[in-house]
Structure 1
Amino acid sequence: MSEPRRDESPAAAVEAAVAGELRLLDPEVRRSPELADALLHPDFHEFGASGRHWDRAAIIDMLTTETETEAETAPVSVSRMRGVQLSADVVHLTFDTEDDGRRVHRSSLWRRADGRWLLYFHQGTPFTV
């Protein structure tokens, strides 16, 4: 693992994680295994809103398949995005998404590796209003 960057403020670390999270919601990134791969930590895993556990390879495959079949849907709506830097190399984000009427609370851990912020862990929990 790389040395922590002492010159990066907590705000800059959170901004980098938010930018990565929003890129992962971009249909162009989701359609591209290469672009999605570049944002995921080698040890990435997720507990999805479906209850399924995903590893890195499975999530990349699902994202590519999902966007091929749902290319005409409206973009995912994101709200209440908040972040906090937990350590020099870890940022925690929480936010909500709405996609075709389905609402999900989301939590992500972004970890700096080799000077880049990568998604290490993600969890989604469906909710109703």
Structure 2
Amino acid sequence: MDTMQALQLTDYLIDLEKQLHSTESRHSLEELNRLIADDFIEFGASGSSFGKQEVMEWLPLEQNIEITASHFQCRLISDDVAQVTYRSVRKTAEASDRYTLRSSIWKKTGSYWQMIFHQGTITCSF
């Protein structure tokens, strides 16, 4: 993969990651199904581990959550696997802001990319 292709892929995967932060995508089972692989696993900032089924059940029910993300980086692990890392701040009306370091692994399946793993680690404010 040449430098231009790598930059395009980086931008594309960061955009997919940001889609999962939007209320529209988070409330759409169709979008979640498209973006999250069937064998997805998450180690959540809460300390819990869960899969796609749990995400599909509770993510559409979340209300009044705003996620701001920054400091994105992407590294290609192989031609069809990449890691996206970044910082996020989760804001809700009910709780104080939660600052988290995040890491996602995306895998290309056929002609599209899906998230197969995600981890959030709570940290101090940045």
Cα distance between partner residues in 1 of 2:78 and 2:107: 9
Contact 1:16 1:117 (C-alpha < 8 Å) held by counterparts: no
1:64 pairs with 2:55: no
* 1:34 Cα deviation after fit: 1.2
Q: How does 1:15-94 map to 2 (within 5 A)?
A: 15-66=11-62, 70-71=63-64, 73=65, 75-94=66-85
Cα distance between partner residues in 2 of 1:82 and 1:33: 27
Compare the two structures and name the one with the higher strand fraction: 2
Cα distance between partner residues in 1 of 2:43 and 2:9: 24
Partner of 1:3: none
Q: Give the TM-score taking structure 1 as reference length.
A: 0.85
Name structure 2 gaps, 5 residues minimum.
92-96
- Number of residue pairs matched by the alignment: 119
Q: Give the TM-score taking structure 2 as reference length.
A: 0.87
Q: Percent identity?
A: 29
* 1:128 Cα deviation after fit: 0.8
Cα distance between partner residues in 2 of 1:48 and 1:33: 20
Cα distance between partner residues in 2 of 1:121 and 1:43: 9
Cα distance between partner residues in 2 of 1:12 and 1:91: 13
Q: Which has the higher contact order (CA 8 A, sep 6+)?
A: 1
| Structure 1 consecutive aligned stretches of length 4 or more whose deviation exceeds 6 Å | none
